[in-house]
Each structure stands twice: as structure tokens, then as C-alpha cells.
Amino acid sequence: MDFLPMTKKDMDKRGWDELDIIFVSGDAYVDHPAWAAAILGRFLEHHGFKVGIIAQPDWHSIKDISSLGQPRLFFGVSAGNIDSMVNHYTADRKKRHDDVFSPGGVGGKRPDRATIVYTNLIKQAFPGVPVTIGGVEASLRRLAHYDYWSGKVRRSLLLDSKADLLVYGMGEYALLEIARYLKAGHEIKYLTGMRGTCYISGHCPANARQIPSFEQVSGDKAEFSRATKIMQEELNPYCARILAQQHGERWVVQNPPPMPLTTEELDDIYKLPFLRQAHPSYDAAGGVPALKPVQFSLLTHRGCFGGCAFCSLGLHQGKFIQNRSIESIAGEAETFLAHPDFKGSIPDVGAPSANMFGLSGKNQQLCQKCRRSSCLYPKVCVNLDTNQLPSVKLWRRLRSIKRIKHIRVASGVRYDLILRDSSGQYLKDLCRHHVGGQLKIAPEHISDQVTRSMHKPGKDEYIKFIKEFKRINKEIGKEQYIIPYFISAHPGSRLGDTIQLAEFVRDNLQYYPEQVQNFTPTPMTVSTSMYYTGLDPDSGKEVHVPHTRERKWQRALLQYKNKENWGPAREALKASGRRDLIGFSPRCLVKPEKKQK
């Protein structure tokens, strides 16, 4: 099996004079199902289309973007697996110098706002050729959105890029439909009724639900918050309405989300052949670093019904869990045995919320009418089946494969779900077989005020889980540890809340938390709406938003053992009237400032 063509020479080897579809990506080309260009390319190739990839083209001229010629049907453009602005800048808006999705991990291989730049280059080089945009960057900027890096509300990416169609969510079947539509001789401007797409119109469809216009949301924060609430109400594909947002004299129309894929449809995608290697053209640079931790990971499902306010997963993949079959996952694992790089260990089995595999509502008719963005917040839905035996059965099947030595679950697990596992077996099997000494979980915070803003379970649930984790490990005779992940400076978090968390870290954790992230406002999330507007979209009430100095203080307080954080941590404690935590006693967070002689 060969890599998908990246050059004319690659096309010649296959005897191809032209391509049907060309994907332009901000990532280096890795032939692995975790890379969008690879999974979309292999899927369309499987359905008979000739597909090529232009990875990380030089954006200073049209030379690279023209390297494979003009595609017969369309270009598909993506910034890559991560929004290009998130990829380039830290939570403090500082420029990153590395990029794990680039050869050798070196930054600077893609432009800021890559989707716009690549699309404009294509329009220069090939006027009139249809261009679709997709991926995380396009998906979460599909309507007017707050952009943290410019500090303002920006228009829909569809307008700024001048693309013909925007595909949001996971796009395999949407792109297949587009390809077939164009192959049949139709024009892309008439493709306006397809789920999971946005298009530009001169009028508002009669059956659409209007949301506040770009002009309204960019000039009135209350209107921005109202638009966020409406978007959150229209995420259920079974009952979502068409959304329309006016931008000047034009309308951006969002069709309802795609229907969840069936197990058979998802299995068909993941049974495709992948080399699970970076393109050999990157060997001299040391390969692509992002491949190493996921090369032999297994994705079990898509979607998340957690509805965390800061997370975009449900906005992108949907809240309905779409499961692969156990045999499909086991079959993929068995293919690893013949791979030259496989050493016998599977580093992760799961998805962003690993223990949602196989879970759904007991009464699907109720689920299909529900407009809640979360099945877990403010409390676990009574209609949710929390029996987590599907994961246990999957693990047992994987453990039966000879020559596989270790199988880990490194994806995040929802501990509030584990506490409600009606089978009572999930945590036992997890600790006995699939935790390599440390289990990573994401409580994010322990202040009830902050976890409410995050739409996460509170401190009590976290403590219950810690106790249960310790009990199970004692029962099976293992010494294993919880590694928590925390977010600082999230909307709703005041200095007092962060000090409360710092004291909890001091008194309760076996490990000092290295994984602390200052909240980064990413497009379209509820948390970003709160950050920009200072309002809770659900209640309309004001929310405290840490900015500038306070963001720095909160981060410093959560990593108070790092000497470089002592200065800002002391400032924060003094500003909060907590000088009692500055000193030399075990309960103090930081030492006093040295007196100058």
C-alpha cells in the first residue's frame, strides 16, 4: 500500500493524470486515522475517487498550492487537527516555537488563520474551482464568534475565507455526498440542503431560526450571549432547526448537524488500511512528533454528552455517542501485530471520555427531543444508562489477543460516571489491568462556584472518586496514583477560589500537579462566551472574569512550588488578604520575599 499522492511523481506512479479531490492541510501528512486528511482521503479513495494531499504548503506564493494541478471536483481545506491560532499561541498569547504536527516538531510551517490563507491561495491559482472548508478551525468558527487572539468578534469563517461550502463536524460522509453531487455534474452553489454544512445566501430561509446578526453580536455583549444560548439549543440532530445569521446583506445558513453514524458506518471507516506512519519525506527532520503517542492507540467511539462549558467536542462531534463494534476495534488491534514499529503495547483505548463507550439513553425517543447540551450537568440524567459493561467486554476481548502485552486507558474518564456504574466492574478492571501506575482525570477545579461555571461535577464527587480509587487499589494489592488536571482563571473563578484549590492541592494530592492550564477562550464554547461577555448564557447573570494580572496570579497559585511563580503568588495572596499563607510553615504556599541587605 502506498501513501496518498503528495507530488506529481506520486500521481505518475499510479498512472493518474489528474485528481478528483485535493486536500490542503496545515498538518504534515501522517497516514493514520487520527489525521483528518488521511482518514478523509482513505475514505474517499475507498469509494473510487482519486485523492491527493498538499500538506503545509508555503503560503507566500501559489507554487505549492498548484503543485498537484487542478482537481476535477473540488479542494478540501483544513487548518489541521488544531485551530491554527491555538496551535500558534499560548493561553497568554505568546508565540509558540514548536508544533508537534510538523516535521521535527518545528513551528512556523503554517500561517495564522490557515483556512483563510489557503482558500485565498486556491482562489488565486484556480478561479472557479469549488472549495470546501472543514476541520476544527472551520467547524468552531462557522458563525460569528469571539476571537481571543484579536480580542474581537469575527465573522463566519465561511465569509472571511470566501469558500463555497463549510462542513462542520466529522466530515467523511458529507464529503462523499459532495463528491458524488459534483461528479454528477451539479454546481456546488445549489448544494444547500445537506446536514452538517453551512452556506451563504442572499436571504433567510423561511423555516430557519434566526440568531442575532453579526452586527448585533459584535456591538452588544448581551446579544452575543443570547446567540450562544440559541446555538446550544440547536445541537441535537434529531430536533435541531436550521439557523440563520445575517452578516450585512448576506446570511450564513447553518443546516442541522449530521445524524449520528451507525456502528456499521463507523466500522467501515476504521477498517480502511492505514500505514500508521508519517510520510517518508519527513524522515530527515525526525518524523512528526504527534504520531508517537497515538501511533497504536485505538479510538472506540465519537461524541461526548458531558457538555463541559469550555469544551468544543460536543459542538464538533455531537453529544450522541457513536460506537464502533468490539470486533472492529479488536480487528484493528490485530493488524498492529504485523506492523514493524509495534512493540506489544497499546497506549490508549478510548476517546476524549473513554468510559462513554456503549452508553446511551434508556428511552431514545426522549433523547431525540432533548435540548440539553449535557447529560451529566447539572446532574446525571435519569434517562442515561450508566452500565459500563461495554468497556469491560471490549477490554477482555483485547486482552485475549496474544502478543499484546499492555493495554492502557490514557483517555480522560468521567469519574462522575464511574461512580454511577451500575455494573460495578468498570473501575475494578480499569485498575487491575489498564492503569500503568497513574490514572489521569480532569476535575478542573474544586470550588463549587467554578465547577458550576464549567458545567462540571463538584468537589464532593471528586473526593468520592479518590476514596473509591484508593479502596479498589488496596483491594487488588496495587499502589497507583491519580494525576489530576486543573484549569486556572476560568470565568467564575475568583482569587479566593484559586487559593481554595491551592490549599486542596497542598493537603490532599499525592502528586504536585504539573498539568495546569490557564483557560484559553476557544471559538464557540459557552466558557468563551462568558469570558467575552461576562454573562452566563443560561441565566443571563453576571460572571466574574479574570483578566491580565489576575490570570497570571491564578496560574501562579496553582503551581506555587515553582520558584518562578513565588513573586506573583505572593502578590495574589497579599491582594486576597491571605498573608498567612506566606511563610515557612508546612501550611504556607510560598516563602517570604528575601530582605535586601
Report CA 303 to chain centroid distance, whole Å: 10
* pLDDT tops 70 at residue 512: no
pLDDT at 353: 87
- The C-alpha atoms of residue 48 and residue 38 are separated, in whole angstroms, by 15
Which residue reads 486536500 in cell numbers?
Answer: 23
What would the mean pLDDT of 209-230 be, rounded to a whole number?
98
What residues form DSSP beta bridges with 131? 75
Which residue reads 481545506 in cell numbers?
Answer: 77
- The C-alpha atoms of residue 138 and residue 134 are separated, in whole angstroms, by 5
What residues form DSSP beta bridges with 55? 25
Neighbouring CB atoms inside 10 A of 66's CB total: 16
pTM over 0.85: yes
Instruction: For residue 473, give the amino acid letter.
Output: N
First-last CA distance in the chain: 72
Q: Residue 246 corresponds to which cell in the numbers above? A: 445575517
3-state secondary structure 154-199: ECCHHHHHCCCEEECCCCHHHHHHHHHHHHCCCCHHHCCCCCCEEE
* pLDDT tops 80 at residue 172: yes
| 551 Cβ neighbours under 8 A, 6+ residues apart | 91, 92, 488, 489, 518, 519
pLDDT at 1: 82
Residue 312: what are its φ and ψ, rounded to 5°?
Answer: -105, 0
- Of the candidates 497, 345, 321, which has an alpha carbon nearest to the alpha carbon of residue 414? 321
Mean pLDDT of the chain: 96
- The C-alpha atoms of residue 264 and residue 308 are separated, in whole angstroms, by 29
Q: Where in the chain is the domain with CATH 3.40.50.280?
A: 8-199
Contact (Cβ atoms closer than 8 angstroms) between residue 202 and residue 249? yes
pLDDT at 594: 81
Contact (Cβ atoms closer than 8 angstroms) between residue 80 and residue 42? no
Residue-wise pLDDT tens digits, 323-373: 999 999 999 999 999 999 999 999 999 998 889 999 999 999 999 999 999
Q: Residue 242 corresponds to which cell in the numbers above? A: 436550521
pLDDT at 411: 84
Which residue reads 462549558 in cell numbers?
Answer: 309
* Interior/surface letters 224-258, b for 16+ CB within 10 angstroms, e for the rest: bbbbbbbbbbbbbbeebebbbbbbeebbbbbbbbb
pLDDT class of 89 with cuts at 50, 70, 90:
very high
Taken in order 518, 523, 527, 533, the sign of the CA dihedral is positive
Which residue reads 467554578 in cell numbers?
Answer: 450
CATH number listed for the domain at residues 8-199:
3.40.50.280
- How distant, in Å, are the alpha carbons of 483, 555, 591 from that of 505? 11, 13, 17
pLDDT at 412: 84
Q: Where are the beta strands (DSSP E) in 383-500?
A: 406-407, 438-444, 481-488
- The C-alpha atoms of residue 132 and residue 134 are separated, in whole angstroms, by 7
pLDDT at 284: 97
What residues form DSSP beta bridges with 360? none
Query: What is the three-class DSSP state of 349?
Result: strand
Q: Residue 362 corresponds to which cell in the numbers above? A: 434508556
Residue-wise pLDDT tens digits, 132-151: 999 999 999 999 999 999 99
- The C-alpha atoms of residue 362 and residue 69 are separated, in whole angstroms, by 52
| 499 Cβ neighbours under 8 A, 6+ residues apart | 557, 572, 573, 576, 578, 581
* pLDDT tops 70 at residue 212: yes
Residue-wise pLDDT tens digits, 523-582: 999 999 999 999 999 999 999 999 999 999 999 999 998 999 999 999 999 999 999 999
Q: For the chain, what percent of residues have pLDDT higher than 70?
A: 99
pLDDT at 585: 95
Q: Where are the beta strands (DSSP E) in 230-381?
A: 243-247, 250-254, 277-278, 298-299, 301-302, 322-323, 345-346, 349-350
pLDDT class of 479 with cuts at 50, 70, 90:
very high
pLDDT class of 182 with cuts at 50, 70, 90:
very high
pLDDT class of 510 with cuts at 50, 70, 90:
low
Contact (Cβ atoms closer than 8 angstroms) between residue 56 and residue 26? yes
Q: For the chain, what percent of residues have pLDDT higher than 90?
A: 94
- The C-alpha atoms of residue 353 and residue 318 are separated, in whole angstroms, by 13
Torsion of Cα atoms, 318 then 364 then 259 then 275, to 10°? 70
Residue-wise pLDDT tens digits, 4-39: 999 999 999 999 999 999 999 999 999 999 999 999
What would the mean pLDDT of 303-310 be, rounded to a whole number?
96
Which residue reads 435540548 in cell numbers?
Answer: 371
pLDDT at 152: 97
pLDDT at 516: 84
Contact (Cβ atoms closer than 8 angstroms) between residue 183 and residue 71? no
Q: Which of 161-170, 381-390, 407-416 has the lowest mean pLDDT?
A: 407-416
What would the mean pLDDT of 387-411 be, rounded to a whole number?
96
pLDDT at 508: 84
Residue-wise pLDDT tens digits, 250-260: 999 999 999 99
What would the mean pLDDT of 70-77 be, rounded to a whole number?
98
Neighbouring CB atoms inside 10 A of 193's CB total: 10
What would the mean pLDDT of 98-122 be, rounded to a whole number?
97
* pLDDT tops 70 at residue 597: no
Chain length of the chain: 597
State the pairing for strand pair 322-323/301-302: antiparallel
pLDDT at 509: 72
pLDDT at 352: 83
What would the mean pLDDT of 262-274 be, rounded to a whole number?
97
Instruction: For residue 207, give the amino acid letter.
Output: N
Q: Which helix (H) or strand (E) holds 55?
A: strand 51-55
